A and B are shown apart, each in its own frame.
Chain A
Amino acid sequence: MVIAELLDQIKDPEIPVLTIAELGILRGFDVVGSAVTVTITPTYSGCPAMDAIKADITSILKGHGFNAIIKTTYSPPWTTDMITLEGRAKLGRIGIAPPGPRSAVRCPRCFNGSPRTVSEFGSTACKALMVCSNCGEPFDLFKELR
């Protein structure tokens, strides 16, 4: 229980409102004495946030007297369907449109549909850059990957 609460404090460094559990990249953990094996999976293969997340897990567990062993698994591959409902709601609240089919994407500011894609590749590997055709707001879309 304590471990789960500790891990729940770990946020994605590039989307710091989301915990790694909400993002769906925490696959589980296993405690043997003071050793905690944490299994995570990357969002995108080259996601540079993974190294920061591993360091955060190690450091928070160490602060509570645990030794972290971090395993990375690729199977089954992460998809945006693994983002929790709470995670999707949080994304919307900070102005990132949650993943979904391109035709269903709505502006996170005015909720108008049919935004225009400016760039398939946005500020991070997991996002595309959109602009709202109603209010003109440029916004990030968490790209659907499935």
Chain B
Amino acid sequence: MPEDGSRMTEALNCGDDNLVIAQRLAEWVSRGPDLETDIALGNIALDHLGVARALLGNVEEGRTEDELAMLRSEREFTNLLICEQPNGDFAQTIARQFLFDAYQLGLWEKLSRDSDEILAGVAAKALLEARYHFRFSSSWVIRLGDGTHESRQRMEAGLSHMWRFVDELFEKHPDLRPKWDRRVDDMLNEATLSRPKDSFQRGGGRDGFHTEHLGHLLAEMQWVARAYPGASW
């Protein structure tokens, strides 16, 4: 039982991370800085949403993926705080995506070897997609970081804003940190950027303690489902 319980928690946690960051990325659709990045962010959002559906659909008997996504309150969401942070400018979104992609690369590598068949299957699939996501986000970190004075300042500000949420990524998976550090440092080097200074670290997302931003995100995501219970296409 405890083994099963921890697999369920893992599926719920990863499902929530992917659902919430998908919703954030979807806010960019039709507002991207150019057509290419607009489509890219929309496609990445879809991948995250697909992963969320696959996981939340298998979390518990009797509750559907829709009920879990649309009818839980803020305190019941277990996503990492970084996923719910507002998009800010493009560089801030890229900073969030870059740090999170680097984390998910390691996580999916690990979970693809999990004994739980569903979790391992979803992870193996998500790993292939995460490589594309990381290629996109890290190439933008390099372009912005090693770009103009303005783009560099914005990239630095984005990274430094998101840095307070990175320790939380490794609360449950401390073993993923060394590889994440290497992945992130390699790209920052190439972008001629330095690591943001270690600052006060926030946590609590896994226990349902969120920043003030999640409630607003959920209000927008959930209002139709709550206003019209049981509605379908």
Contact = CB atoms under 8 A, between A and B. Distances in A.
User: Mostly helix, strand, loop or mixed at chain B's interface?
Assistant: helix
B16 to A, nearest CB: 16
Interface in A66-84: 72-79
A79 B131 CA distance: 14
Contacts of A77: 121, 124-125, 128
A109 to B, nearest CB: 22
Contacts of B51: 45-46
A121 B36 contact: yes
Given A74-B125, A121-B136, A145-B128, A46 B46 contact: yes
Interface in B12-63: 22, 35-36, 39-40, 42-51, 53-54
B39 A122 contact: yes
Among A79, A125, A146, the most chain B Cβ lie within 10 Å of the Cβ of A125
User: Mostly helix, strand, loop or mixed at chain A's interface?
Assistant: loop
A6 interface: no
Contacts of A72: 54
The number of chain A residues touching the other chain, given as a range, is: 20 to 34
A85 B36 CA distance: 30
Contacts of A146: 128
Contacts of A47: 46, 50
B170 interface: no
Interface residues of B, number: 30
B40 A44 contact: no
A130 to B, nearest CB: 13
Contacts of A125: 43, 46-47
A120 B135 CA distance: 9
A14 B39 CA distance: 16
A133 interface: no
B198 interface: no
Nearest to B51: A45
A125 B54 CA distance: 17
Contacts of B221: none
Interface in B119-147: 120-122, 124-126, 128-129, 132, 135-136
A4 B132 CA distance: 34
Interface string A42-55: 10111110000000
Nearest to A124: B43
A59 interface: no
A119 interface: yes
A68 to B, nearest CB: 18
Contact of A78 (B125, B126, B132): B125
Contacts of B136: 120-121
Contacts of A118: 36
6 contacts: A42-B50, A75-B120, A77-B121, A77-B125, A121-B39, A121-B43
Interface of B: 22, 35-36, 39-40, 42-51, 53-54, 117-118, 120-122, 124-126, 128-129, 132, 135-136
Interface of A: 42, 44-48, 72-79, 118-125, 129, 143, 145-146
Given A76-B124, A120-B135, 8 more contacts: A42-B125, A46-B48, A74-B54, A75-B120, A119-B35, A143-B132, A145-B129, A146-B128
